[in-house]
Amino acid sequence: MTSSVKAAASGLRFIVNLIDPVFRGQYHGHQKHDDDLNHMLERSKRAGVVSMIITGGSLRESKQALALAKRHNFYATVGCHPTRSTEFEKDPSGYLQALDDLVGANLSGPGRVVAIGECGLDYDRTHFASRAIQQKHLHSQLALAKKYHLPLFLHSRAAHNDLIRILREEGLGDDGGRAVGARGGVVHSFTGSFEDADDYIKMGFYISINGCSLKTEDNLTALKSIDLRRIMFETDAPWCSMTSTHASRKHIDSLPTDLRSLFLPPAMRKEAFVPGRPVKGRNEPSAIGAVAWVAHKVKEEISFDELVDQGWRNTIKLFGLKELVGEQSGVSALATS
C-alpha cells in the first residue's frame, strides 16, 4: 500500500445526502434495484471514510437526517434549502420554531446537529422560490446559527452579491460572525471565481469543492488560488459526479490504480444491478478521494497527503468534532441535496 493510500484510507469525512432514495434503489418513485445503502457505506469505509455529516434540506429531511445519523453514529445538519423555502410560507413562525426545536433537542450525543443548513440563495431556480422568499427565510436561519452558535452550511447559485450582503447585514461579515454568536460556516459546491471565494474567506468562511467545482478550466484556476487553510472537499452525493467532459478528467486519469479502486470502483447500470457494486451515474461518498486528488494535481506544490490532512483538520475545526481529534488525518468532504 502506498503512502498516499495510507493517508487516504486513514480518515475521510463527508457531508452527504444519505436520505436520497437512490441509495435505497428508488429512482423517480420506482424501485429499480435492491436497497444498497449498507453496501455503499462499506465502500465508503474501504475508501477511508470514518464518519459522515448528513444534510437536512427541509424540516422533514432534517428529521430523517437526524434519525439516520443516530442510527449510524454520524452527524447531521438542520435547515431548509433555498429552493424549499416556500415551505415556510404557510406558517413562517411555526416552521422556524420546529427547526429551532429540532436543533435544541439534538445538540449532544450520537447523531448530533453540527451545522445549520443547507440554507442560502439559489437564483438559478427561482421557479421553486422567489428571490424575496429565499432571502426572507435565509435571515430566519441565520438567527438559528447565532442562537445555537453553530456553523452554517451555505448554498449559493448566481447569488453571490446578495448572499454576501445578507451575511454582513446579520453581523457575519467579519470572523464568521463570532461577535454576534455565529461560528462561520462553509460555502458548499463552490463554482464561483477566485474573487468570490476570497470574499467568503475574508469574512471567516470555508470553501468546499466537489465535482461540479471542477467542470471548467476557470473552475480549476479558481481552485488553484484558494487558501489551503480554508478549503474542504465534498461529493454532493448522489449528485455532482466528475465526468469525461469535465476539466477534471485529465487529473482523474492520473489516479494510481490502487487509489482508483478505492475512490472510483467500477460501476454497473442500475438495470444490471449487482449487490456490492456501485451504480453508474450515482455519485458516492468514496469519490471524495478523487476530488481531493484533482485538487492536489491543480495545486501542484501541495502533496496529496498534505492536502488530505489539512482538509481533515479544517473539518474538525469548523464543525467542532473534538471526539475525532485522535483519529488519523484524512480527506475533508461535504455533499448535499
- Which residues are documented as binding site for a divalent metal cation? 28, 118, 155, 188, 236
The H helix count followed by the E strand count for the chain is 12, 10
Do 35 and 21 touch, CB atoms closer than 8 A?
Answer: no
Q: Give the separation between CA 206 and CA 307, rounded to whole angstroms.
A: 15
Instruction: Specify burial of residue 77 (Cβ count, 10 A radius: 0-12, 13-18, 19+).
Output: buried
DSSP state of 285: G
Residue positions in the annotated binding site? 28, 118, 155, 188, 236
Assigned C-alpha cell, 315: 473539518
φ, ψ (nearest 5 deg) of residue 83: -75, -10
Do 152 and 116 touch, CB atoms closer than 8 A?
Answer: yes
3-state SS class at 185:
strand
Closest of 59, 167, 82, 96 to residue 133, by C-alpha: 82
Do 308 and 7 touch, CB atoms closer than 8 A?
Answer: yes
